[in-house]
Amino acid sequence: MSARHPDTALFVTCLVDLYRPQVGFASLQLLERAGMTAEAPPAQTCCGQPAFNGGDRAGAQAIAKQVIASFAEYAQVVVPSGSCAGMMRRHYPELLAHDPAWAARARDFAAKVVELSECLVQAGINLHMAWPGKVCFHHSCAVLREMEVQGQPLKLLAQVRGLEVTEPVDREACCGFGGVFSVKYPDIAIRLADDKLDDVKASGAELLVAGDLGCLLHLAGRASRRGDPLRVFHLAEVLADQLDQPGIGEGA
């Protein structure tokens, strides 16, 4: 392990922590391979999206302050999720804009936040891996629109020799996850998942990959209920060459 003081922090995200820890470890591995010294500060919990999107502004502000404080000493905060990264980069500054003690800190913090694929492309990572197969990449809405990360995931996937990469026909369409939305309005969420999965099926891909675990849990949960023979992975797992492991929702 490097003796150098890590200057890059991984914000693991609550869903990765709970559901898919290997995405966190894969992210750390990829950051190291891209030449960074990275660690996951243990004081982290959630980025505050449930509170922010649920109308609890005070709760979201409290969580934002905690996150900003616990990542203060890092030069860069990498997030393997477009929606959490968007929360931190786009919404922390506006949440704390009128708090004199925190406004500037929130802006400085936001400038350090980077989504994983964006970070890896910037760092010029070389993957040196091969996987024969066809993958359909789902652009999560937060990655596309809040982070304005457009081509980076596809650029990274293009480095995988033998991998054929497609996108759903309507690449900008939402999969229907939407955090609490998917629990509050399950019937609508499921219809949107079906539309997305039909698109994925039509692409002929056997793998579904995205950069946001929320979308993936929702889509994988629906795919297995439908009986779609689809394997589902987070982008970090693909790039860390872990496709021989069980996919999301697959048994051991």
Q: Which two tokens stand for residue 115?
A: 């989504």
> Residues 114, 77: contact at Cβ < 8 Å?
yes
Per CB under 8 A, 43 contacts another protein: yes
Q: Which two tokens stand for residue 192?
A: 């949107």
Using CB under 8 A, which residues numbered 137 to 176 contact another protein? 141-142, 145-146, 170, 172-174, 176
CB nearer to another protein: give 95 or 120.
95
CB nearer to another protein: give 56 or 164.
56
CB nearer to another protein: give 112 or 218.
218
Per CB under 8 A, 45 contacts another protein: yes
Alpha carbons within 13 A on the beta-carbon side of 190: 11
| Dist CA 5 CA 11 (whole Å) | 17
Candidates 50-58, 102-110, 113-121, 153-161; binding stretch for another protein (CB under 8 A): 50-58
Q: Residue from 44, 81, 117, 203 that binds another protein (CB under 8 A)?
A: 44
Using CB under 8 A, which residues numbered 52 to 91 contact another protein? 52-57, 59, 62-63, 66
Least separation in angstroms between residue 203's CB and another protein is 16
Using CB under 8 A, which residues numbered 5 to 24 contact another protein? 5-6, 12, 14, 16-22, 24
The amino acid at residue 137 is F
Q: Measure CA 142 to chain center.
A: 9
- 206-245 exposure pattern, b = at least 16 Cβ within 10 A, e = fewer: ebbbbbbbbbbbbbbbbbbeeebebbbbbbbbbbbbbbee
Q: Residue from 11, 25, 71, 102 that binds another protein (CB under 8 A)?
A: 25
Per CB under 8 A, 99 contacts another protein: no
> Residues 76, 206: contact at Cβ < 8 Å?
no
Contacts of 155 (CB under 8 A, 6+ apart): 121
- Window 195-234: contact mask with another protein (x via CB under 8 A): x---------------------xx-xxx-xx---------
CB nearer to another protein: give 116 or 174.
174
Per CB under 8 A, 2 contacts another protein: yes
Least separation in angstroms between residue 97's CB and another protein is 13
Least separation in angstroms between residue 164's CB and another protein is 25
Least separation in angstroms between residue 207's CB and another protein is 15
Grouping H, G, I as helix, E, B as strand and the rest as coil, residue 216 is helix
List strands edge to edge, sheet with 76-79.
Answer: 38-39, 8-10, 76-79, 113-115
Q: Which two tokens stand for residue 229?
A: 């023979």
